Amino acid sequence: MMITASEYFSFVVMTTIPAGFLFELPLIIMALTSFGLIDPYSLGKIRKYAYFVLFCISVLITHQTF
């Protein structure tokens, strides 16, 4: 089965854009902190909820292969 150019470019775009956003996320959070929109204490308080949400998202997007 051959992959078409359209499928290949779609795959590349759909993986690079989210990866690029994730790599820029710490800079966005740092900028929001420096502007005073969020503070490190509030980030620390919501960390355990963020871990739970990330776990739920990872369960939903992965395959069930068995």
Question: Which tokens hold the place of 30?
Answer: 């740092």
pLDDT in tens, 4-63: 999 999 999 999 999 999 999 999 999 999 999 999 999 899 999 999 999 999 888 887
Q: Establish if 4 belongs to a structural domain.
A: no
How many separate domains does the chain show? 1
Q: Establish if 66 belongs to a structural domain.
A: no
Q: Establish if 2 belongs to a structural domain.
A: no
What are φ and ψ of residue 3, in 5° steps? -90, 135
Q: Establish if 5 belongs to a structural domain.
A: no
Q: Establish if 33 belongs to a structural domain.
A: yes
- Are the beta carbons of 40 and 33 closer than 8 angstroms? yes
Per-residue pLDDT band at 66 (split at 50, 70, 90): low
- Four-residue CA torsion sign, 61, 55, 57, 4: negative
- What torsion, rounded to 10 degrees, do the Cα atoms 28, 33, 38, 40 define? 110
Q: By residue range, what is the domain housing residue 36?
A: 12-61
Per the document, the length of the chain is 66
Q: Establish if 49 belongs to a structural domain.
A: yes
